[in-house]
Structure 1
């Protein structure tokens, strides 16, 4: 009888131990982090992914992704959901391309950019994160809270399990509800993921998230230095937030908004070099920078900007453009 009871207890204990899913640790930030945002990569093509693998950039931030009212996750490049009812329903070739990114590649870290509404768009991503993170709330068709059965947890879980994502990046430009984003950091921790922040304004909001978050989970800030953040000075953010995490400036290239000219803070490679050099003087500890975004590099080349507007740069191929940007960023870090 005692032997039978011991066996039952052992089986029960084993079940409890092994029924919990464990996840591989997320990739840490590279010592010198060169990031590039990747709009236009869903489902993408093999040629573009090969370019990224050999680009010399080491962090790819796949963008942009939106949560809808029914709990589905959409890519900004698709009119169909990629996650539905907590399961991957997206393009299989995209999964193959993304999961192959780190093989024989300069890419060592993959982040998912969660983007929200702007310019009067209807509610999405961060509206719903705010409305769903509290388990005491009832939302039809949604499992609220941040537990393992919750809608929010399962969106993040699929990104981890299916795409092998190391982090999700928060680009909130409208809702600014810090408790819900702090809760998202707790989901990241459960999944052995990181969470990064992508501000363009709002010291108090982003600072409150940093103060309430584990520095080993929320491990970086990507500061937008274009469009609404075109006047951002990195020294001001360092002084205001005093973060333990690194702050990386994000630059927008010429070719953005379908123009070779400077628009909303877009810059040539030479202009990026000048601004980054100034940031380095103001923030000697700077250890990385990022480029917004791969689709704009392609646009620059397709429009023939090197010929049409020589002051915008001289790259006549995407590979050349990537190489110039990599060398420029590395030279000033």
Structure 2
């Protein structure tokens, strides 16, 4: 059905004047990402709707664990085995709603790794034993993961392995599968990340989510900008812990992001961790944290 001409023109004029919101689309402006674990899988459609209205532009599913036989787990839940998605049958459909208007989300990433897990070591061993061709278990399982999640990128949260060769081989396989980007989540060892970035190039590596909390609390985005030859997106840990007394509030996030904007010219930021935002919602909601990043970086 055609839309009447005059109302359509009036809507455009009002939108341009700031009197009326334009048709719902992914939110423009500074990029902001949020890492999340269990709630993104088991929280149902309600969590997807919270993310869509949050203001966050990127949702990062944390974390995919690669077992020695190639099985893929989302945290402790088996989701891909023998080239087939075997997880919750409703999860792929829920994830697809993340980008459906009205929404702020325009990108989904799956993160591999964490502290004290051998995911990247297992990937290297699987590459050595089976390669990355279309018949390999790595290829088939990450193809199934791509189909299930619709992910735009793979995020590398390597915190122990730090070997360029097999990591770059895996990244190129992933790009061939349709994960168009390969992003980093470093907290230390800038020389490794610089070598990996130089190996892959800026076309594949378009974002670096620099940890500014826990072991990375002393990181300087400006220093990492120089080391990697690109602007990083620093991240902070939301309120968490006993009594929700640890971590950053939306107000301190905005202040720190504004400071990094001035000192390092950052163009985006991220929050860790959605799970804690749910537990400590009185100290800050996802929408408040996303707005804090946006206000600090703008």
TM-score by length of 1: 0.76
Shift of 1:259: 4.0
Count the aligned residue pairs: 267
Shift of 1:214: 3.1
Partner of 2:147, secondary structure, is helix
Shift of 1:96: 1.6
Q: Which residue of 1 aligns with 2:14?
A: none
Q: Which residue of 1 aligns with 2:278?
A: 298
Q: Which residue of 1 aligns with 2:131?
A: 145
Of the candidates 223, 230, 236, which is equivalent to residue 236 of structure 1? Answer: 223
1:92 partnered with 2:79: no
From the CA coordinates, give the structure whose radius of gyration is larger: 1
**What is the alpha-carbon distance in structure 2 between the residues aligned to residue 241 and residue 157 of structure 1?**
29
Where does 1:1-333 land on structure 2 (aligned, <5 Å)? 32-40=30-38, 41-76=40-75, 78=76, 80-104=77-101, 105-118=103-116, 124-134=118-128, 138=129, 144-193=130-179, 194-243=181-230, 246-255=231-240, 257-262=241-246, 266-284=247-265, 286-301=266-281, 306=282, 313=283, 315=284, 321-333=285-297
**What is the alpha-carbon distance in structure 2 between the residues aligned to residue 171 and residue 276 of structure 1?**
22
TM-score by length of 2: 0.85
Deviations 1:281-307 (A, max 9, x none): 1112x2111111111101103xxxx4x
**What is the alpha-carbon distance in structure 2 between the residues aligned to residue 327 and residue 177 of structure 1?**
37
Contact 1:188 1:217 in 2 (8 A): no
**What is the alpha-carbon distance in structure 2 between the residues aligned to residue 115 and residue 130 of structure 1?**
13
In the TM superposition, structure 1's runs of 4+ consecutive aligned residues that sit over 3 Å from their partners are: none
**What is the alpha-carbon distance in structure 2 between the residues aligned to residue 216 and residue 191 of structure 1?**
16
Give the gaps of 5 or more residues in structure 1.
1-29, 139-143, 307-312, 316-320
Partner of 1:66, secondary structure, is strand
Shift of 1:31: 5.9
Give the gaps of 5 or more residues in structure 2.
1-27
Larger RCO (CA within 8 A; separation ≥ 6): 2
Partner of 1:331, secondary structure, is helix
Shift of 1:38: 1.6
